[in-house]
Structure 1
Amino acid sequence: HFIKPEDAVKLFETKAKVVQPQQELRIAGLINIGVSSSKGEFVCLLDDSTSEIKHRVYGRDGNWLGQMLAYAGDQKIGAVGGLIVDRERSVVISAGRAVSGDGTVADLHQGERIESAGYFARLLGSSNCTALRLGSLVTKRTVFDEVGGLDEKIPDDLVDLDYGLRLRANGYRSVVLSQYHFSQNELSISEKLGSANSRSSRSERQRFFQKWGSQIPAQDPFYSPNLRFVGNCARYQLDVELPKETLASS
Protein backbone atom coordinates (compact mmCIF):
# COMPACT_ATOMS: atom_id res chain seq x y z
CA HIS A 1 0.00 0.00 0.00
CA PHE A 2 1.12 3.57 -0.68
CA ILE A 3 2.21 5.40 2.48
CA LYS A 4 1.66 9.15 2.68
CA PRO A 5 4.65 11.27 3.84
CA GLU A 6 2.84 12.39 7.00
CA ASP A 7 1.99 8.79 7.84
CA ALA A 8 5.60 7.76 7.29
CA VAL A 9 6.70 10.38 9.83
CA LYS A 10 4.26 9.00 12.39
CA LEU A 11 5.51 5.47 11.79
CA PHE A 12 9.10 6.64 12.22
CA GLU A 13 8.26 8.41 15.48
CA THR A 14 6.63 5.27 16.87
CA LYS A 15 9.66 3.20 15.81
CA ALA A 16 7.56 1.13 13.44
CA LYS A 17 9.49 -0.57 10.67
CA VAL A 18 8.16 -0.39 7.12
CA VAL A 19 9.33 -3.13 4.75
CA GLN A 20 9.00 -2.60 1.01
CA PRO A 21 9.07 -5.86 -1.02
CA GLN A 22 11.05 -5.82 -4.24
CA GLN A 23 8.45 -7.78 -6.18
CA GLU A 24 4.71 -8.36 -6.24
CA LEU A 25 3.79 -11.03 -3.72
CA ARG A 26 0.70 -12.77 -2.44
CA ILE A 27 -0.45 -12.26 1.14
CA ALA A 28 1.68 -15.14 2.45
CA GLY A 29 4.84 -13.70 0.91
CA LEU A 30 4.18 -10.22 2.30
CA ILE A 31 3.57 -11.57 5.79
CA ASN A 32 6.65 -13.81 5.69
CA ILE A 33 8.85 -10.85 4.75
CA GLY A 34 7.36 -8.76 7.53
CA VAL A 35 7.89 -11.47 10.12
CA SER A 36 11.44 -12.21 8.99
CA SER A 37 12.24 -8.50 9.32
CA SER A 38 10.94 -8.35 12.89
CA LYS A 39 12.52 -9.29 16.20
CA GLY A 40 9.52 -9.67 18.51
CA GLU A 41 8.63 -12.78 20.48
CA PHE A 42 5.10 -12.73 19.08
CA VAL A 43 3.58 -11.99 15.68
CA CYS A 44 0.31 -10.04 15.44
CA LEU A 45 -1.51 -9.94 12.10
CA LEU A 46 -4.29 -7.40 11.52
CA ASP A 47 -6.23 -6.66 8.35
CA ASP A 48 -5.66 -3.07 7.22
CA SER A 49 -9.42 -2.47 7.21
CA THR A 50 -9.60 -2.89 11.01
CA SER A 51 -11.32 0.22 12.35
CA GLU A 52 -12.03 -0.73 15.95
CA ILE A 53 -11.28 -3.44 18.51
CA LYS A 54 -13.67 -3.78 21.44
CA HIS A 55 -14.49 -6.24 24.18
CA ARG A 56 -18.08 -7.45 24.05
CA VAL A 57 -18.73 -6.14 27.59
CA TYR A 58 -15.89 -3.80 28.56
CA GLY A 59 -15.52 -1.95 25.26
CA ARG A 60 -12.10 -0.56 24.45
CA ASP A 61 -10.87 -1.27 27.99
CA GLY A 62 -10.79 -5.01 27.34
CA ASN A 63 -6.98 -5.32 26.88
CA TRP A 64 -7.35 -7.47 23.77
CA LEU A 65 -3.65 -7.72 22.98
CA GLY A 66 -2.65 -8.69 26.51
CA GLN A 67 -5.26 -11.45 26.59
CA MET A 68 -4.32 -12.78 23.17
CA LEU A 69 -0.63 -12.82 24.10
CA ALA A 70 -1.47 -14.67 27.31
CA TYR A 71 -3.25 -17.39 25.32
CA ALA A 72 -0.57 -17.50 22.63
CA GLY A 73 2.07 -18.00 25.32
CA ASP A 74 0.55 -21.37 26.25
CA GLN A 75 2.80 -24.13 24.91
CA LYS A 76 -0.18 -26.02 23.46
CA ILE A 77 -1.69 -23.07 21.58
CA GLY A 78 -0.36 -22.15 18.16
CA ALA A 79 -2.59 -19.23 17.19
CA VAL A 80 -5.16 -16.93 18.78
CA GLY A 81 -7.72 -14.78 17.02
CA GLY A 82 -10.72 -12.58 17.70
CA LEU A 83 -14.27 -12.38 16.40
CA ILE A 84 -14.18 -10.55 13.06
CA VAL A 85 -17.35 -8.49 12.63
CA ASP A 86 -18.95 -6.08 10.19
CA ARG A 87 -19.99 -3.30 12.54
CA GLU A 88 -22.03 -1.43 9.93
CA ARG A 89 -24.28 -4.44 9.28
CA SER A 90 -23.97 -5.74 12.87
CA VAL A 91 -23.12 -9.25 11.72
CA VAL A 92 -20.29 -11.72 12.26
CA ILE A 93 -17.78 -12.22 9.43
CA SER A 94 -15.79 -15.04 11.03
CA ALA A 95 -15.45 -16.83 14.35
CA GLY A 96 -12.79 -19.15 12.98
CA ARG A 97 -12.54 -21.42 9.94
CA ALA A 98 -13.96 -24.89 9.47
CA VAL A 99 -13.28 -27.51 6.80
CA SER A 100 -14.81 -30.85 5.89
CA GLY A 101 -13.49 -33.79 3.93
CA ASP A 102 -15.69 -33.00 0.93
CA GLY A 103 -13.76 -29.76 0.32
CA THR A 104 -16.14 -27.34 2.02
CA VAL A 105 -14.36 -24.41 3.70
CA ALA A 106 -16.52 -22.12 5.81
CA ASP A 107 -16.43 -19.31 8.36
CA LEU A 108 -18.06 -20.17 11.68
CA HIS A 109 -21.08 -18.05 12.64
CA GLN A 110 -20.83 -15.93 9.49
CA GLY A 111 -23.95 -13.81 9.08
CA GLU A 112 -25.17 -14.12 12.67
CA ARG A 113 -26.00 -10.98 14.63
CA ILE A 114 -23.18 -9.53 16.72
CA GLU A 115 -25.44 -9.61 19.78
CA SER A 116 -26.06 -13.35 19.40
CA ALA A 117 -24.63 -15.74 21.99
CA GLY A 118 -24.06 -18.30 19.26
CA TYR A 119 -24.41 -22.06 19.34
CA PHE A 120 -23.74 -23.23 22.93
CA ALA A 121 -22.63 -19.63 23.71
CA ARG A 122 -19.57 -19.87 21.47
CA LEU A 123 -19.73 -16.14 20.72
CA LEU A 124 -19.38 -15.20 24.39
CA GLY A 125 -15.89 -16.52 25.13
CA SER A 126 -13.01 -18.68 23.94
CA SER A 127 -13.30 -21.85 21.86
CA ASN A 128 -11.16 -24.03 19.61
CA CYS A 129 -11.34 -23.99 15.83
CA THR A 130 -9.46 -25.55 12.94
CA ALA A 131 -8.00 -22.26 11.68
CA LEU A 132 -8.23 -18.49 12.00
CA ARG A 133 -8.44 -15.75 9.42
CA LEU A 134 -5.16 -13.89 9.05
CA GLY A 135 -6.95 -10.57 9.58
CA SER A 136 -6.97 -11.15 13.35
CA LEU A 137 -4.27 -13.52 14.52
CA VAL A 138 -1.53 -13.68 17.15
CA THR A 139 1.06 -16.46 17.09
CA LYS A 140 4.36 -17.05 18.83
CA ARG A 141 7.37 -16.32 16.62
CA THR A 142 9.02 -19.64 17.47
CA VAL A 143 5.85 -21.50 16.46
CA PHE A 144 5.60 -19.53 13.22
CA ASP A 145 9.19 -20.48 12.38
CA GLU A 146 8.73 -24.08 13.51
CA VAL A 147 5.98 -24.75 10.97
CA GLY A 148 7.83 -22.85 8.24
CA GLY A 149 5.79 -19.65 8.19
CA LEU A 150 3.03 -19.27 5.61
CA ASP A 151 3.11 -21.34 2.42
CA GLU A 152 3.64 -18.86 -0.42
CA LYS A 153 2.49 -21.39 -3.02
CA ILE A 154 -1.01 -21.51 -1.52
CA PRO A 155 -3.67 -19.10 -2.90
CA ASP A 156 -4.67 -16.32 -0.50
CA ASP A 157 -8.09 -17.77 0.27
CA LEU A 158 -6.55 -21.01 1.60
CA VAL A 159 -3.41 -19.70 3.34
CA ASP A 160 -5.09 -19.29 6.73
CA LEU A 161 -6.57 -22.79 6.59
CA ASP A 162 -3.21 -24.27 5.58
CA TYR A 163 -1.51 -22.55 8.53
CA GLY A 164 -4.15 -23.84 10.94
CA LEU A 165 -3.82 -27.39 9.62
CA ARG A 166 -0.03 -27.28 9.91
CA LEU A 167 -0.34 -26.03 13.48
CA ARG A 168 -2.67 -28.92 14.28
CA ALA A 169 -0.33 -31.40 12.59
CA ASN A 170 2.42 -30.16 14.92
CA GLY A 171 0.29 -30.59 18.03
CA TYR A 172 -0.94 -27.01 18.46
CA ARG A 173 -4.47 -25.64 18.89
CA SER A 174 -6.07 -22.57 17.32
CA VAL A 175 -8.28 -20.56 19.67
CA VAL A 176 -10.75 -17.77 18.93
CA LEU A 177 -11.56 -15.25 21.68
CA SER A 178 -15.05 -14.28 20.55
CA GLN A 179 -15.46 -11.74 23.34
CA TYR A 180 -13.11 -9.45 21.39
CA HIS A 181 -14.73 -7.87 18.33
CA PHE A 182 -12.48 -6.79 15.46
CA SER A 183 -14.45 -4.46 13.20
CA GLN A 184 -13.32 -4.97 9.62
CA ASN A 185 -14.64 -4.17 6.17
CA GLU A 186 -16.11 -7.35 4.70
CA LEU A 187 -16.12 -5.82 1.22
CA SER A 188 -12.41 -5.04 1.51
CA ILE A 189 -11.67 -8.61 2.60
CA SER A 190 -13.79 -10.04 -0.22
CA GLU A 191 -12.04 -7.86 -2.78
CA LYS A 192 -8.62 -9.06 -1.64
CA LEU A 193 -9.62 -12.72 -1.67
CA GLY A 194 -11.64 -12.36 -4.84
CA SER A 195 -8.90 -11.08 -7.13
CA ALA A 196 -7.58 -13.35 -9.85
CA ASN A 197 -4.24 -13.82 -8.09
CA SER A 198 -5.84 -14.53 -4.71
CA ARG A 199 -8.75 -16.83 -5.50
CA SER A 200 -7.93 -20.52 -5.73
CA SER A 201 -8.76 -22.33 -8.95
CA ARG A 202 -10.39 -25.76 -9.01
CA SER A 203 -7.05 -27.44 -9.72
CA GLU A 204 -5.35 -25.54 -6.88
CA ARG A 205 -8.08 -26.59 -4.44
CA GLN A 206 -7.72 -30.19 -5.60
CA ARG A 207 -3.96 -30.08 -4.99
CA PHE A 208 -4.56 -28.50 -1.58
CA PHE A 209 -6.89 -31.29 -0.44
CA GLN A 210 -4.63 -33.94 -1.97
CA LYS A 211 -1.77 -32.45 0.04
CA TRP A 212 -3.65 -32.89 3.31
CA GLY A 213 -5.48 -36.08 2.33
CA SER A 214 -6.63 -38.13 5.30
CA GLN A 215 -5.51 -35.44 7.76
CA ILE A 216 -8.74 -33.60 6.98
CA PRO A 217 -11.53 -35.63 8.61
CA ALA A 218 -14.94 -36.05 7.00
CA GLN A 219 -16.35 -33.69 9.65
CA ASP A 220 -14.56 -30.71 11.17
CA PRO A 221 -13.76 -31.66 14.81
CA PHE A 222 -14.98 -28.30 16.08
CA TYR A 223 -18.27 -28.28 14.16
CA SER A 224 -21.17 -30.47 15.25
CA PRO A 225 -21.95 -33.35 12.84
CA ASN A 226 -25.63 -32.72 13.59
CA LEU A 227 -25.42 -29.33 11.89
CA ARG A 228 -24.70 -28.28 8.33
CA PHE A 229 -22.77 -25.79 6.26
CA VAL A 230 -24.79 -23.16 4.41
CA GLY A 231 -22.76 -22.10 1.38
CA ASN A 232 -19.38 -20.89 2.62
CA CYS A 233 -20.60 -20.14 6.14
CA ALA A 234 -21.33 -22.30 9.17
CA ARG A 235 -24.24 -20.73 11.02
CA TYR A 236 -25.21 -23.71 13.14
CA GLN A 237 -28.56 -24.33 11.47
CA LEU A 238 -30.17 -27.65 12.35
CA ASP A 239 -29.81 -30.32 9.69
CA VAL A 240 -33.45 -31.30 10.05
CA GLU A 241 -36.74 -29.84 8.94
CA LEU A 242 -38.92 -29.31 12.01
CA PRO A 243 -42.72 -29.02 11.84
CA LYS A 244 -44.03 -25.46 12.18
CA GLU A 245 -45.88 -26.34 15.38
CA THR A 246 -42.62 -27.56 16.92
CA LEU A 247 -40.83 -24.34 16.00
CA ALA A 248 -43.71 -22.28 17.36
CA SER A 249 -43.60 -24.03 20.73
CA SER A 250 -39.82 -24.00 21.14
Structure 2
Amino acid sequence: MRAPAAHGQPAPPVLLTEGLTRRFGGFHAVRNVSFTLNEGEIHGLIGPNGAGKSTLFNLVTRMLPASSGRILYRGQDISRMPPARVARMGLVRSFQISALFGEMTSRQNLHVALMRGSGLGWRAWMPDRSLRRFDPAAQDIAARVGLTDVLDQPAAALSYGRKRALELGMALALDPGVLLLDEPLAGMGHEDIDTVCDLIRDAARGRTVLMVEHNLGVVERLCDRVTVLQRGEVIASGDYTDIAAHPQVRSAYLGAEDD
Protein backbone atom coordinates (compact mmCIF):
# COMPACT_ATOMS: atom_id res chain seq x y z
CA MET A 1 0.00 0.00 0.00
CA ARG A 2 1.32 3.45 -0.89
CA ALA A 3 1.90 5.92 1.89
CA PRO A 4 -0.43 8.95 1.80
CA ALA A 5 1.08 12.24 0.74
CA ALA A 6 0.36 15.67 2.15
CA HIS A 7 -3.21 17.03 2.00
CA GLY A 8 -4.58 13.50 1.80
CA GLN A 9 -3.38 12.96 -1.76
CA PRO A 10 -1.80 9.59 -2.62
CA ALA A 11 1.96 9.60 -2.91
CA PRO A 12 3.39 9.10 -6.39
CA PRO A 13 4.63 5.61 -7.19
CA VAL A 14 8.17 4.93 -6.04
CA LEU A 15 9.11 4.11 -9.62
CA LEU A 16 7.15 4.85 -12.76
CA THR A 17 8.10 4.24 -16.37
CA GLU A 18 6.20 5.76 -19.27
CA GLY A 19 6.63 4.38 -22.77
CA LEU A 20 10.15 3.19 -21.98
CA THR A 21 11.87 1.91 -25.11
CA ARG A 22 15.36 0.70 -25.96
CA ARG A 23 16.39 -0.06 -29.52
CA PHE A 24 19.56 -1.71 -30.73
CA GLY A 25 19.54 -0.86 -34.42
CA GLY A 26 16.19 -2.12 -35.66
CA PHE A 27 15.70 -4.49 -32.70
CA HIS A 28 13.49 -3.42 -29.78
CA ALA A 29 14.87 -4.99 -26.58
CA VAL A 30 12.27 -3.03 -24.58
CA ARG A 31 9.25 -1.52 -26.29
CA ASN A 32 6.85 1.03 -24.82
CA VAL A 33 7.03 -0.35 -21.26
CA SER A 34 4.88 1.47 -18.71
CA PHE A 35 4.64 0.13 -15.19
CA THR A 36 4.50 1.30 -11.58
CA LEU A 37 6.35 0.16 -8.50
CA ASN A 38 4.48 1.07 -5.32
CA GLU A 39 5.80 1.91 -1.89
CA GLY A 40 6.58 -1.10 0.31
CA GLU A 41 5.83 -3.85 -2.19
CA ILE A 42 7.90 -6.72 -3.53
CA HIS A 43 7.30 -6.63 -7.27
CA GLY A 44 8.34 -9.53 -9.47
CA LEU A 45 9.51 -9.08 -13.05
CA ILE A 46 9.28 -12.29 -15.05
CA GLY A 47 9.30 -13.44 -18.65
CA PRO A 48 10.81 -16.04 -20.98
CA ASN A 49 14.27 -15.87 -22.49
CA GLY A 50 14.89 -12.63 -24.39
CA ALA A 51 11.92 -10.87 -22.80
CA GLY A 52 13.94 -7.75 -21.93
CA LYS A 53 14.04 -8.06 -18.13
CA SER A 54 17.75 -7.34 -17.68
CA THR A 55 17.57 -4.53 -20.23
CA LEU A 56 14.72 -2.97 -18.27
CA PHE A 57 16.81 -3.18 -15.07
CA ASN A 58 19.68 -1.49 -16.91
CA LEU A 59 17.34 1.26 -18.07
CA VAL A 60 15.77 2.09 -14.71
CA THR A 61 19.19 2.16 -12.99
CA ARG A 62 20.50 4.32 -15.86
CA MET A 63 23.26 1.84 -16.68
CA LEU A 64 21.80 1.97 -20.20
CA PRO A 65 20.21 5.03 -21.83
CA ALA A 66 16.67 4.77 -23.10
CA SER A 67 15.87 5.38 -26.76
CA SER A 68 12.63 7.03 -25.68
CA GLY A 69 10.23 7.26 -22.75
CA ARG A 70 10.54 8.52 -19.18
CA ILE A 71 11.57 7.16 -15.78
CA LEU A 72 10.26 8.84 -12.64
CA TYR A 73 11.67 8.02 -9.21
CA ARG A 74 9.47 9.30 -6.39
CA GLY A 75 7.99 11.80 -8.83
CA GLN A 76 11.36 13.09 -10.08
CA ASP A 77 12.38 12.56 -13.69
CA ILE A 78 15.65 10.57 -13.67
CA SER A 79 15.58 9.68 -17.37
CA ARG A 80 18.90 11.41 -18.08
CA MET A 81 20.60 11.26 -14.70
CA PRO A 82 23.98 9.52 -14.36
CA PRO A 83 23.74 6.10 -12.69
CA ALA A 84 25.88 7.09 -9.69
CA ARG A 85 23.46 9.89 -8.82
CA VAL A 86 20.49 7.55 -9.19
CA ALA A 87 22.15 5.09 -6.80
CA ARG A 88 22.80 7.88 -4.27
CA MET A 89 19.10 8.71 -4.41
CA GLY A 90 18.39 5.23 -3.08
CA LEU A 91 17.79 3.09 -6.17
CA VAL A 92 20.29 0.27 -5.59
CA ARG A 93 20.81 -2.81 -7.72
CA SER A 94 22.22 -5.96 -6.18
CA PHE A 95 23.73 -9.30 -7.17
CA GLN A 96 24.80 -8.59 -10.75
CA ILE A 97 26.69 -5.35 -10.11
CA SER A 98 27.80 -5.85 -6.49
CA ALA A 99 31.11 -7.69 -6.44
CA LEU A 100 32.71 -9.46 -3.52
CA PHE A 101 36.38 -9.05 -2.69
CA GLY A 102 37.29 -12.72 -2.34
CA GLU A 103 40.51 -12.31 -0.34
CA MET A 104 38.86 -9.94 2.11
CA THR A 105 36.76 -11.15 5.03
CA SER A 106 33.01 -10.80 5.18
CA ARG A 107 33.51 -8.04 7.74
CA GLN A 108 35.86 -6.13 5.43
CA ASN A 109 33.46 -6.48 2.51
CA LEU A 110 30.72 -4.97 4.64
CA HIS A 111 33.10 -2.19 5.69
CA VAL A 112 33.63 -1.34 2.00
CA ALA A 113 29.88 -1.04 1.42
CA LEU A 114 29.37 0.97 4.60
CA MET A 115 32.14 3.35 3.56
CA ARG A 116 30.43 3.89 0.22
CA GLY A 117 27.12 4.45 1.98
CA SER A 118 28.71 7.06 4.24
CA GLY A 119 30.03 9.01 1.25
CA LEU A 120 33.67 8.10 1.83
CA GLY A 121 33.94 5.84 -1.19
CA TRP A 122 36.53 3.09 -0.99
CA ARG A 123 39.75 4.29 0.61
CA ALA A 124 42.08 1.32 0.64
CA TRP A 125 44.75 3.26 2.49
CA MET A 126 42.60 3.77 5.60
CA PRO A 127 44.08 1.85 8.57
CA ASP A 128 42.04 -0.88 10.25
CA ARG A 129 41.53 1.25 13.36
CA SER A 130 39.77 3.88 11.22
CA LEU A 131 37.34 1.23 10.00
CA ARG A 132 36.30 0.19 13.50
CA ARG A 133 33.58 2.84 13.53
CA PHE A 134 31.79 0.77 10.88
CA ASP A 135 32.02 -2.45 12.88
CA PRO A 136 28.75 -2.15 14.90
CA ALA A 137 26.81 -1.61 11.67
CA ALA A 138 28.69 -4.46 9.97
CA GLN A 139 27.86 -6.82 12.84
CA ASP A 140 24.20 -5.76 12.76
CA ILE A 141 23.96 -6.42 9.01
CA ALA A 142 25.79 -9.73 9.39
CA ALA A 143 23.22 -10.81 11.98
CA ARG A 144 20.37 -9.85 9.63
CA VAL A 145 21.75 -11.97 6.78
CA GLY A 146 22.97 -14.88 8.91
CA LEU A 147 26.72 -14.32 8.60
CA THR A 148 27.76 -13.62 12.19
CA ASP A 149 29.73 -16.87 12.42
CA VAL A 150 31.74 -16.17 9.25
CA LEU A 151 32.47 -12.46 9.66
CA ASP A 152 36.20 -13.10 9.76
CA GLN A 153 36.35 -15.70 7.00
CA PRO A 154 37.46 -14.72 3.47
CA ALA A 155 34.52 -14.19 1.16
CA ALA A 156 36.03 -16.67 -1.30
CA ALA A 157 35.71 -19.44 1.31
CA LEU A 158 31.95 -18.99 1.76
CA SER A 159 29.37 -21.32 0.24
CA TYR A 160 27.48 -20.06 -2.79
CA GLY A 161 24.37 -19.28 -0.75
CA ARG A 162 26.37 -17.37 1.83
CA LYS A 163 28.14 -15.37 -0.86
CA ARG A 164 24.71 -14.30 -2.07
CA ALA A 165 23.76 -13.42 1.51
CA LEU A 166 26.90 -11.29 1.78
CA GLU A 167 26.05 -9.51 -1.48
CA LEU A 168 22.60 -8.77 -0.05
CA GLY A 169 24.21 -7.48 3.14
CA MET A 170 26.46 -5.17 1.12
CA ALA A 171 23.41 -3.81 -0.70
CA LEU A 172 21.64 -3.21 2.63
CA ALA A 173 24.72 -1.35 3.88
CA LEU A 174 23.93 1.32 1.28
CA ASP A 175 20.53 1.79 3.00
CA PRO A 176 18.52 1.70 -0.24
CA GLY A 177 14.99 2.98 -0.50
CA VAL A 178 14.44 0.66 -3.46
CA LEU A 179 16.34 -2.60 -3.84
CA LEU A 180 16.55 -4.15 -7.30
CA LEU A 181 17.44 -7.83 -7.18
CA ASP A 182 18.57 -9.31 -10.47
CA GLU A 183 18.14 -13.10 -10.36
CA PRO A 184 18.87 -13.43 -6.63
CA LEU A 185 18.44 -17.21 -6.60
CA ALA A 186 20.21 -18.02 -9.87
CA GLY A 187 22.32 -21.17 -9.57
CA MET A 188 21.27 -21.76 -6.00
CA GLY A 189 20.66 -25.26 -4.61
CA HIS A 190 17.35 -26.19 -3.01
CA GLU A 191 19.01 -26.21 0.40
CA ASP A 192 19.72 -22.45 0.14
CA ILE A 193 16.49 -21.21 -1.45
CA ASP A 194 14.39 -21.09 1.73
CA THR A 195 17.12 -19.26 3.63
CA VAL A 196 17.65 -16.63 0.94
CA CYS A 197 13.89 -16.15 0.48
CA ASP A 198 13.66 -15.39 4.19
CA LEU A 199 16.56 -12.95 3.87
CA ILE A 200 14.87 -11.15 0.97
CA ARG A 201 11.60 -10.91 2.88
CA ASP A 202 13.45 -9.46 5.88
CA ALA A 203 15.38 -7.03 3.66
CA ALA A 204 12.07 -5.83 2.18
CA ARG A 205 10.81 -4.56 5.52
CA GLY A 206 10.76 -0.79 5.34
CA ARG A 207 11.75 -0.63 1.68
CA THR A 208 10.53 -1.46 -1.81
CA VAL A 209 11.87 -4.35 -3.89
CA LEU A 210 11.83 -5.03 -7.62
CA MET A 211 13.17 -8.46 -8.48
CA VAL A 212 13.82 -10.54 -11.58
CA GLU A 213 13.47 -14.21 -10.70
CA HIS A 214 13.28 -17.44 -12.70
CA ASN A 215 11.70 -19.64 -10.05
CA LEU A 216 7.95 -19.08 -10.27
CA GLY A 217 7.41 -20.79 -6.92
CA VAL A 218 9.63 -18.15 -5.34
CA VAL A 219 7.76 -15.39 -7.19
CA GLU A 220 4.46 -16.72 -5.87
CA ARG A 221 5.89 -16.93 -2.37
CA LEU A 222 7.50 -13.49 -2.19
CA CYS A 223 5.88 -11.06 -4.61
CA ASP A 224 2.88 -8.83 -3.98
CA ARG A 225 2.55 -8.01 -7.66
CA VAL A 226 4.07 -9.38 -10.87
CA THR A 227 4.77 -7.83 -14.26
CA VAL A 228 5.33 -10.14 -17.23
CA LEU A 229 7.45 -9.20 -20.23
CA GLN A 230 7.50 -10.93 -23.59
CA ARG A 231 9.62 -9.74 -26.53
CA GLY A 232 10.27 -6.49 -24.70
CA GLU A 233 6.62 -5.62 -24.02
CA VAL A 234 4.40 -5.89 -20.94
CA ILE A 235 1.77 -8.56 -21.54
CA ALA A 236 0.26 -8.72 -18.04
CA SER A 237 0.52 -7.21 -14.57
CA GLY A 238 -1.26 -8.08 -11.34
CA ASP A 239 -1.10 -10.49 -8.42
CA TYR A 240 0.35 -13.94 -8.96
CA THR A 241 -3.02 -15.74 -9.11
CA ASP A 242 -4.26 -13.50 -11.92
CA ILE A 243 -0.94 -13.70 -13.75
CA ALA A 244 -0.82 -17.51 -13.54
CA ALA A 245 -4.28 -17.74 -15.11
CA HIS A 246 -3.59 -15.24 -17.90
CA PRO A 247 -3.80 -17.02 -21.30
CA GLN A 248 -0.93 -15.07 -22.88
CA VAL A 249 1.31 -15.69 -19.88
CA ARG A 250 0.51 -19.41 -19.92
CA SER A 251 1.35 -19.48 -23.62
CA ALA A 252 4.65 -17.64 -23.03
CA TYR A 253 5.66 -20.15 -20.38
CA LEU A 254 4.33 -23.26 -22.06
CA GLY A 255 7.00 -25.91 -21.71
CA ALA A 256 9.49 -23.56 -19.98
CA GLU A 257 9.46 -22.03 -16.55
CA ASP A 258 12.62 -20.02 -16.59
CA ASP A 259 14.76 -17.63 -18.54
TM-score between both structures, scaled by the size of structure 2: 0.29
More helix by share: 2
Per the normalisation by structure 1, the TM-score is 0.30
